[in-house]
Structure 1
């Protein structure tokens, strides 16, 4: 067991927060000067939206990066990066990106499919013999595709007791296997972090290397993500400039600083750290075909409806699609939740726009996260 640095997250927080969510919302308006002749420039819609998240939704800090075509990316911030010192939110600062990690894991799996090392519709048993056994759980009946699409029926390990400490992936899987299967493989879709723990274990078995090393070699270094990494075991910190992350147990409880924490309970499902600009680049290059062969990218975009992620939402293989409210077709991304941080974003189907927004706590009012998602859509539509 590794020595733990100060933790401020209580066990219940970890179980509740690592769940990807996608939602829709509204924006606030600006304030005009007394006369039009001397009116100050009105902040654009993204800045207005971030300001509203801080002012109206009680979010300590927010940051966004928006890119249109080949024009230079625009970065935005609002609120403070540290409630104690009132320090500014660092422009394009690092955050814990939560379940966006799933898309990185799925991309590596699909690269290995393209290399003929993994059969997408083959059983998990082929790669991890005897590992998946439990009440209604049988690795001989669950395919790799079902893992990536959340149609396996595997129960989420976050339903169990996951107190703050270092975890090996098998610890997380063992927790999940204490529960009965949610449904028979292929019957329907239900989001479960356990699926990606198993997918990560398959990558390690097939390659003989740590998942973190494969993600770094196959994705991070390949497309030059300079601020994205998979924290090493025992690393509770965030390396580069970042806003602090906060969490409250109840709506009326004070915000607690949960920036430094052991992220291993997320592993292949949610452990990574990144920036808004790096996430925009990752999803843009992924959808452009720079990380996957055409056949595997096409498989990644085969979706099933997932109403629990919002109206019209669909889940592919580690990738979420949603309709744009402005009639511009679909946008693709994922989103992520981790104690202290929420990220939402995506790329338009034609690749003409990318936007990612991060906030530094999960608001008690679900409407606030709808505002974040609505702001992503407004940025992509404008």
Structure 2
């Protein structure tokens, strides 16, 4: 089926509180902006905005190609690299408990796992200054047949790390250069298990999901399903612009770097708790917001950027092939956006403009 947005598009707006309902006219730009994101290159999208007036949930586009069903406003999606913030929070909690140190070398926890493991610290893994080659760059991508052949394959963290370290490092010395690397988070997931005796997914559930009541969030492991209401996600089937439904797949390839499934409401709740100081001691939260390399906007599993109206917003974004998401906040306002791309265009600039308007409008 050729990638063409159907003439039927659905827009749903949920005013979650009376205050939000009263401010409905003020949200017209938000609705139009999300429609613009979808028109620029998405099958469907959803957003939740929280501020002093209440909670607004808006959707645009469709949940499934060829059907008129709207995107569920409280739908679940693969959150990609937003997983890293959850993993980093657990690692920092373990540091606060004295069960590990951020400046511990990888070699102390995972002997022989990576070359030069005595020089690479857990901090370097967290802030992407380890110099380890990014395993994602070793994996086949759509529309290659090898990519589709791996759809149901179960990957282990050790397999993914081995693929990465078969390539030379991307910097001469750890801690000096920023180089985004999912490999580091595959290792951090293993470190969490070594430190606690439990898989990182279990630790995230017991430390974060259950206490914060994030009932729409899960770490699926090898399960291909997205539980509950959700939009369908797609990837290119060929070079002609055709798509194939890729909602169901084995997410072990993402691992600790990106397997999380969540909702906009849950992500807003998580970042409010994290940045509000409820999950970490102040000195560790400060380190989380400190760039690993001068001039970069990434700390220990946390990213940030500055809006055109002078606000600095903190959070993270994620790309899980068929799903893309962004979750950021500043005091007084939170915005979480998720979409299912149709790969007809690069959406980065469109999304950045939408988020900027959502914070500054």
TM-score range, shorter chain: 0.7 to 0.9
C-alpha deviation, 1:272, in angstroms: 0.7
After superposition, what is the alpha-carbon deviation per residue over 1:201-250, rounded to whole angstroms, capped at 9, x for unaligned? Answer: 100000000111000001111111110010032x1010010010112256
Contact 2:177 2:293 in 1 (8 A): no
Look up the match of 2:200.
211
Aligned match of 1:344: 326
| Cα distance in 2 for residues equivalent to 1:275 and 1:53 | 19
Partner Cα distance (1:242, 1:313) in 2 = 34
Does residue 176 of the first structure (1) align with residue 164 of the second (2)?
yes
The aligned counterpart of 1:236 is 224
Q: CA deviation at 1:54?
A: 2.1
Q: Distance in 1 between matches of 2:186 and 2:335?
A: 28
Could you tell me which residue of structure 2 aligns to residue 37 of structure 1?
A: none
**1:52 alignment counterpart:** 36
**Alpha-carbon offset, residue 378 of structure 1:** 1.4
Q: What are the ranges of 5 or more consecutive residues in structure 2 without an aligned counterpart?
A: 1-24, 141-149
Pairing 1:380–2:329 present: no
Counterpart in the other structure of 2:80:
98
Q: Is the 8 A contact 1:280 1:355 kept in 2?
A: yes
C-alpha separation in 1, matches of 2:342 and 2:289: 28
Alignment deviations for residues 7-51 of structure 1 (CA, whole Å, 9 cap, x no partner) = xxxxxxxxxxxxxxxxxxxxxxxxxxxxxxxxxx68622111111
Q: What's the counterpart of residue 156 of structure 1?
A: 134
The equivalent of 1:320 in structure 2 is 303
How far apart in 2 are the matches of 1:54 and 1:261?
Answer: 24
Counterparts of 1:101-250 in structure 2 under 5 Å?
Answer: 101-133=83-115, 138-161=116-139, 163-164=150-151, 165-183=153-171, 184-233=173-222, 235-248=223-236
- State the secondary structure of the residue aligned to 2:214: coil
8 Å contact kept, 2:268–2:336: yes
Equivalent position of 1:258 in the other structure: 246
The 4+ residue runs of structure 1 with deviation greater than 4 A are none
Report if aligned partners of 1:95, 1:275 keep a CA contact under 8 Å in 2: yes
> 1 CA distance for matches of 2:278 and 2:72?
29
Q: CA deviation at 1:316?
A: 0.4
Give SS of 1:99's match: helix
Match of 1:359 in 2: 339
Q: CA 1:318 to 1:43, structure 2 compared with 1: closer, same or farther past 3 Å?
A: closer
SS in 2 for 1:140: coil
Separation of aligned partners in 2, 1:251 and 1:65: 33
Aligned residue number for residue 81 of structure 1: 63
Asked if structure 1 preserves the Cα contact closer than 8 Å seen for 2:43 and 2:342, the reply is no
Residue of structure 1 in register with 2:282 after alignment: 294
Cα distance in 2 between the residues matched to 1:228 and 1:291 = 17
Which residue is equivalent to 2:260? 272
For residues 63 and 35 of structure 2, the distance between their equivalents in structure 1, rounded to whole angstroms, comes to: 14
1:362 Cα deviation after fit: 5.8
Paired residue total? 327
- Structure 2 residue matching 1:335: 3-state secondary structure: strand
The one of 258, 263, 269 equivalent to 1:281 is 269
Distance 2:139 2:290 in 1: 34
Deviates more, 1:78-87 or 1:162-171: 162-171
Aligned to 1:303: 291
Alpha carbons of structure 1 residues 294 and 124: separation in structure 2 relative to 1, 3 Å: same
Distance in 1, matches of 2:267 and 2:27, equals: 24
The TM-score normalised by the length of structure 1 is 0.82
Q: Could you tell me which residue of structure 1 aligns to residue 11 of structure 2?
A: none
CA distance in 2, matches of 1:54, 1:376: 14
Offset of residue 97 of structure 1? 0.2
| C-alpha separation in 2, matches of 1:42 and 1:224 | 30
Deviation of 1:321 after TM superposition, in Å, equals: 1.2
